[in-house]
A = this chain, B = another copy of it.
Amino acid sequence: MQELISVFKALSDETRLKMLKVFQKGEICVCDLVSVLDTSQPRISFHLNVLKEAGLIKDRKQGKWVHYSIDDSDMFRRFLVLSAMEKIPDGAMTEDFSRLKKVLTVKNKSRCG
Most buried by B among A1, A2, A6, A76: A1
A11 vs B14: C-alpha distance when bound (angstroms)? 16
Q: Which of A8, A9, A80, A92 has the most CB of B within 10 A?
A: A8
Q: What is the distance, in angstroms, from A53's C-beta to the closest C-beta of chain B?
A: 13
Which has the most chain B C-beta neighbours within 10 Å: A2, A4, A84, A92?
A4
Interface of A is mostly: helix
Indicate if A12 sits at the interface (CB-CB under 8 A). Answer: yes
Q: How far is the CA of A106 from the CA of B110 in the complex (A)?
A: 73
Is A83's beta carbon under 8 Å from chain B? yes
A99 to B111, CA, bound (A): 62
